[in-house]
Amino acid sequence: MTAKILLLFLVAAFATITLTEGKRNVVCYYGSWAVYRPGDGKFDVEDIDPFVCTHLIFGFAGLKEYDNSIYALDPYNELYENWGRGAYERFTGLKKINPELVTILAIGGWNEGSVKYSKMASTAEGRRQFIDSVVPFLLRYGFDGLDMDWEYPTQRGGVAEDRDNFISLLRELKAAFAPEGLVLTAAVSAGEQTIDEAYEIPIVSELLDMINLMTYDYHGAWETITGHNAPMYAHPLDDGNVTNFNVNFSLNHWLTNGADPAKIQLGMGFYGRGWSLNNIEDNGPYAPANQPIQAGPYTRQAGIWGYNEVCEQFLADPAGWTVVRDEYYQSPYAYNGRNWIGYDDMESLTKKMELIIIALHI
């Protein structure tokens, strides 16, 4: 498998499986910043195989705080204006190769924060300004819909009223999208407390065409002990609310609280999170680790490696790495000296697809 193909999976935040009108959907997020990665890590729109995913989501657009309008976060890369590279239209142009492909623009993401989305959604006028900018923006660049990636209502500087205001925003977006046949989806939290505070699940489910569940980032280098990025089940060492930091709990929490099974997309991250161990002899789950793993050559961020970077590390030192398939994580972690990384591979992703097939009865 080439580095380019591997990176397709790296830049997809979700590769999910659900059933809509008898067909299984695979929804993939494309992180547009991958175009700036060096060497084999560089990944542009034309590197996407338009037949791998049924839905492609371009991440991300932003929100202008002063007038509540949508805008291109990287106009040089995303627009043709001012001699730009036109990634938006090249992305939606993939439908010329695969006419069945659905292309969606995501707005928000972690770096955009929550505060300005909270302010926009707090008034009818703010929501109207936003929606009046979104519809022509999507149509201008050929997108089939919007993915609302507000992370998260009521959180990170938001207010309690966000829960109701998020519903108002989705309802008004849905009404405005209907005449144009546009799709409305959202990326939503997998954390129990955030879910309960942020979302009126039955109404959110009714209003959205797809619910993209972010079942990853449960553990990472913001903690000082090792833990898997996306564990399938609770680990015996889990304590307190950490017992709910796993894919199985998050999926069932959404379902038992009123999410339509046909709309749930189970998120699968094609990257790992890792640490530098304090003691190389203590190398299992919950091992003390006060520092993140060193940055990889492509993602260039301490504490995280793309799956392609994991594979390259293994190939460079096959005898040095020990891979463990934890019976509770149902996903591998590996260590080599002080390096510790928890990630997903083909075997663990297959298990997660089996989980959602059973849970959603598809």
d(CA 305, CA 221): 12
Residue 32 · residue 78 · CB < 8 Å: yes
C-alpha to C-alpha distances, 270 to 13, 83, 209, 338, 345, nearest whole angstrom:
7, 33, 24, 22, 8
Q: Is 89 a catalytic residue?
A: no
Name the token pair of 303: 């504490």
**Of 151, 200, 327, 347, which residue is the catalytic one?**
151
Contact 148, 191 (CB under 8 A): no
Distance CA 212, CA 217 (A): 14
Contacts of 301 (CB under 8 A, 6+ apart): 295
Rounded to a whole number, what is the distance in angstroms from the first to the last CA of the chain?
Answer: 30
Q: What residues contact residue 180 under an 8 Å CB cut-off, 6+ apart? A: 135, 138, 139
List active site positions. Answer: 151
